[in-house]
Structures are given as structure tokens and as C-alpha cells.
Amino acid sequence: MELYEMSASELSLMLKEKKCSSEELTRSVLSRAKATEEKVGAYLTLCEESAVSKAREVDAKIAKGEKLSALAGIPIGIKDNISTKGILTTCASKMLYNYVPPFDAFVMKKVNAADIVVTGKLNMDEFAMGSSTENSHFKKTHNPHNLDCVPGGSSGGSAAAVAVGSAVISLGSDTGGSIRMPASYCGVVGLKPTYGAVSRYGLVAFASSLDQIGPFGRTVKDTAALFGIICGHDNMDATSADREYPDFTAALKSDVSGLRIGIPKEYFGDGVDESVKQAVMDTVRELEKQGAKLVDISLPSTKYALNAYYIISSAEASSNLARFDGVKYGFRAENYDSLTDMYEKTRSEGFGDEVKRRIMLGTFVLSSGFFDAYYKKAKLVAMDIVREFGEAFEKCDVIATPATPGTAFKLGENMGDPTKMYAADICTVTVNIAGLPAISVPCGKVNGMPAGLQFIGRKFSEQTLLNSAYAVEQLTGEVRPVNV
């Protein structure tokens, strides 16, 4: 077995026992990236020199017998909307095609302090707006399980890189399912943490009340280890939760005896593929045989969630993206007659169609005369969703749903129909609206493509979610990189 094929926990043990070096591992992953990039297209920037240099530093620390983190020396890919000092951070947009941040995001400070090796920046939908990674200005990412299919979005590069072995672990961001959907489509594990558990400082904002950085891994243990490193309080983020977090890996267990699993009827209705429902329910019933208890619940406001999500997220996007005007950094139109003309042409030429669509929608719902009719009502729906989750968790410990309504669709299949593309988020958006944690874990294949089971939990119940996912993993087996 090649080094890039192994899990982070396996590799960490090998590094400690000096059965391999971080440099050897890093070169293996970089070679895998170069061998698969033409087919998969997961990376926007590959940091070969700095990655090898960092790996050598880790090897020197190991040789000295220094105490290192559980993921020291392990290669990681970073979604390209997370600020990396001295490394191009484009958000897959023409608008930021040449932007090199002068600072690191909070999570990058954590990653660097843990001596994790950054291999590069990963492709995504432009400014994290999309469900297929087809909205990137630079390239399309392909699903390693079927190169004719999308990897999901917006963190498609992050999921595809882990699935194909061009990264051992990765970071993505999740605004309405952008970690869990690609994790499901690519057959890997993806965790969307509780809002506030991971600092958003240095994450280029899409919708500030919904955005959350989270980890990808091929195993639950790897995902837990990375989450344990990036979570924590940050004074630079006013929404960061000041609390203690457990050792998620040490507390990992697969015993589900007495676990109450809520089954919401709204997530198993029309619009969700029958085979996906079957795969999810078959897995959950296996957990029932191991001592879990299945509880029927209802979340009636789910039917309004997609509309509410796109109103709220677009409204926040229209405000957040106002800063990209061609004045201080990034793209600027070449020919213009006045300052106002420069703004207009820069934004017209610099943003892609999907970003423009959401800015226009957001500006509309915030405008005078429409604020009460749309934005205010969406926020009221959000309150109902929060309340219903609260009532549901009085009856259960976790909620199990499909992570996506179907398996990965073909490239180009939904690009001409934005509403059909948006419908792919139906199983995930409620979690962001309520600020809850959720995880997608592979639960088998449907017509040859991966399907994901989503567990949703109470705020800061990540350990329970990881344990539930770990129990599923014991049934399905750990994931290895896909051959392409």
C-alpha cells in the first residue's frame, strides 16, 4: 500500500515509530496530486516546495524526540476561501485571481502550530456559492468515483482530494451543506461543526450567520482529530464560543446502546431518491440491532427551509461581497470612465453568473418594500426551525437523514436550472439555519456511486455525532482512495 492511501491515524503511528518520514509521505501525496490533477482537478494551487520544507522540519522535530500533535507531518489541503499567509487565496473567482493574504486564518494558525503539512489550496464554487464546484472561474472538479459526475459543492475540491488521495485530510466550509454534500457525493467523512465552535476569522465571508469551517477525512477518527485541532475560542471572532472541548479522538467509541435516533419523516419524502432512503434506513436499522432506539419525529418547517435559506444567505452575500470593488486588491476592470463606472465594470467582469444572481436576489430582498415580505418572513421561518429542532431533541439524541436527496449528478446536468441545483441542498440547509452540528458518513453505494448518512445533533454535541458516525463506519468499513 502506498503512503497516500493510508489514513492519518495510521500514518501518525508510522511517523512516531519512524517507519516512514513526513518528507516521504508528503512527496507521495504530492506525486498522487500531480498524477490525478488532469482528471480530477481538485487543486488550484499546489505548494510543493513549502510542503516539502515543512515536512523536513517535522522530521527534524521527530528525530529530536519532541512532543508533537496527533497530525504532525500529515498532508492537508485547504479550501481556497480560507486565508493563507503568502499563498494565493482566490475563492475560485476572477475577482481575487491575484490575491495573496498578508495574514493567516485562525484555523491556519492552529494547523501550522500542529505542524500539519499544507499541500495547497483546493478548488470550490466561486465564493462558496454552488452545489457542484462547476462555478469555479478556473476549472471544474470531477468526482473521483465517476469523472463524468460532479463532486458536490461548494467544497468539491476538498472532498475530491481526500477521496482520490491527493490529500490525507482537508478543510472546507459549510454555509448550507457545502461540507456534507461533497462528502456524501465523494464517499468520505465531512463534519459541519456547531456555529461558533470554529473561528471564522480569515474565512472569506459568504453568509456570516451560516458559514462554518470544518474537516474532511477518509475515516471518522481522522475527521475527529482534525476537528480537535481547529476548534476553540478566538478573540478575533465575536461569534466564537468560549468553552472547553474534549479530546474527540480519545473519546471515540462505536457503542450505540441506548442512543435515541430521530427519524424525521420530512427528510424521507418526495424529492429524495428511494434508493438513497433505503441505504440510509438499512444502516440505521443495523444500529438499532446494536441497541440504538429509533424514534419517529417531525420537523414541519423543513418544507420552507430552502426558500428561507436562499433569502437569508443571499441577503448576507450581497452585503459581504460589496467590499470587492477593484479599489484595494484583486481584479480591476481595465477600461472605465469614472469611479462609479470602475465599480460597475469591475463587478460585472469579476463576478461569475451564480455570484451575480445571489447578489441581485439579496439586494432585492433587503430593499425597501420587500424587506418585510421576504427577509423578515425568512427569519421567522428560521426561528420556527430552531424551535422544532429543540423540541425534537427532547425525544432523541441525534437525528438521522440522507445527507443528499440523491447521488452525484452529471457535470453540466443542472447548470441551466438554478432552482434544480438549489434543491440539492434540501437535506442540509436547516442545520446551518439552526447553527447545529452535523456529519456525513458513507453508508454504501447506490447505482455505483457513494451515498451519505447525515447525523444532526444538539449544539456542541460533536462527540455524539462522531461516535454515531464511527458506529456506521464499523459496519461499512474505512474508505481508501479511489483509483482514477
Q: Does 79 participate in catalysis according to the annotation?
A: yes
Domain assignments of the chain as residue spans, ordered by start: 1-484
Selecting among 7, 12, 154, 440, the annotated active-site residue is 154
**CATH node for 1-484:** 3.90.1300.10
CA dist 154 and 352 (Å) reads 14
Selecting among 178, 184, 240, 440, the annotated active-site residue is 178
- State which amino acid sits at residue 195: Y
Per-residue confidence (pLDDT) for residue 422, from 0 to 100 = 93
| Residues of the chain with confidence (pLDDT) below 50 | none
Per-residue confidence (pLDDT) for residue 195, from 0 to 100 = 98
> Could you read off the pLDDT of 308-325 as tens digits, one per residue?
999 999 999 999 999 999
Angle value at C-alpha 382, between 379 and 387, nearest 5 degrees: 135
CA dist 310 and 423 (Å) reads 11
> Could you read off the pLDDT of 267-299 as tens digits, one per residue?
999 899 999 999 999 999 999 999 999 999 999
Residue 186 and residue 163 in contact, taking contact as beta carbons nearer than 8 Å: yes
Q: Does 178 participate in catalysis according to the annotation?
A: yes
Residue 148 and residue 40 in contact, taking contact as beta carbons nearer than 8 Å: no
Selecting among 9, 21, 28, 79, the annotated active-site residue is 79
Q: Does 154 participate in catalysis according to the annotation?
A: yes
Phi then psi for residue 126, to 5 deg, are -50, 125
Per-residue confidence (pLDDT) for residue 329, from 0 to 100 = 92
Verdict on whether the full-model pTM lies above 0.95: yes
Per-residue confidence (pLDDT) for residue 419, from 0 to 100 = 86
